[in-house]
Structure 1
Amino acid sequence: MTDVRDLDEQVRIAHTWQLDASELAAVRALMDEAFEGDFDDEDWDHGLGGVHALLWRDGVLAAHGAVVQRRLVHGGRALRAGYVEAVAVREELRRQGYGAAVMRALEPVLRGAYEVAALSAADDAAAFYEALGWVRWQGPTSALTPQGVERTEEDDDSTYVLPLSAPLALDGELVCDWRDGDVW
């Protein structure tokens, strides 16, 4: 097992504009592999335009995560949210600390720039995020669509937050801004 401190020291933080074409191609390839073909162009777009954490091993991208800015509405306020996207680890390196190292590297970005952090977790990743201090949203989720606010019941159980500076009532409604593809 790799020493966690060694992994933490190897994570590179960079904004999308700082990644060259080969690095972006490596990120996309990792997403395609990790999500077994269930990562489309809209998902790819969701992970761009923010801050990336990249962890390489032997010249191959081992793990990645990104934070992009979004707006979440809660308690009558539009909150500046750091939304975590495109978190993946190569299959043979899972459960060895790579994903946690990427998330630890992103946490100062979240704490330094946002009022709340949020993400949508697959069922098999819930325990991973909970172990890192993320909390499952207990209330209803919705999206501000071109037609108005619409419930997103299918996302109620997969939405997680990392409370930062904004007061949150975890059983209240949480509304995300609109985007193409998966809104959460």
Structure 2
Amino acid sequence: MDEPTTRAAKRAATAQRILEAAQVEFGEHGLEATTVRAIAGRAGVDPSLVIQHYGSKSDLFAIAARLDGDSTGGDVSGHLFDVLGVRLSGLPPETRALVRSMLTAPEATRAMKDFLDERVRNLARTSDDADAELRAALTVSSILGLTIARHFLELDALADISESQIDTVLRPWLTAALGEDGGDG
């Protein structure tokens, strides 16, 4: 890739390097244990540039841990199976940072709660079932629990899930949680 040549391009490239370094640091150490110096060291910049670009460690965390909203595209089960597949494979750095910090940093707690509440509302809107919101909350919570158990606690039983097990165990479990019978509704 070509080196940025304009001042604005260099500034943007530096900001991006800092952001990516912050996501890794927050993901590995959480908000509280991550330092501006560690972020700067990983990004290969002076610590003052971290503050210059992002204001404070908390402001940088808010950006680094921002999760994009998911879109179901109308296929709720398919979308949730895709989400489950992502959560079983590697976690994006912003997800790792937010999950690692959500129980110790109020900023992360709020961000995760807002994100998950939105996921629950979106999922609940796809069903006319009287218990749609509860089912949605249980489904979202289960996927979060699976994410934590696999990537942070490294539960032995979740370490080597095969494609076959995803199809024969996890898909039916998720379908049952949604109150579906394998149909579209």
- What TM-score, normalized to structure 2? 0.33
More helix by share: 2
- What TM-score, normalized to structure 1? 0.33
More strand by share: 1
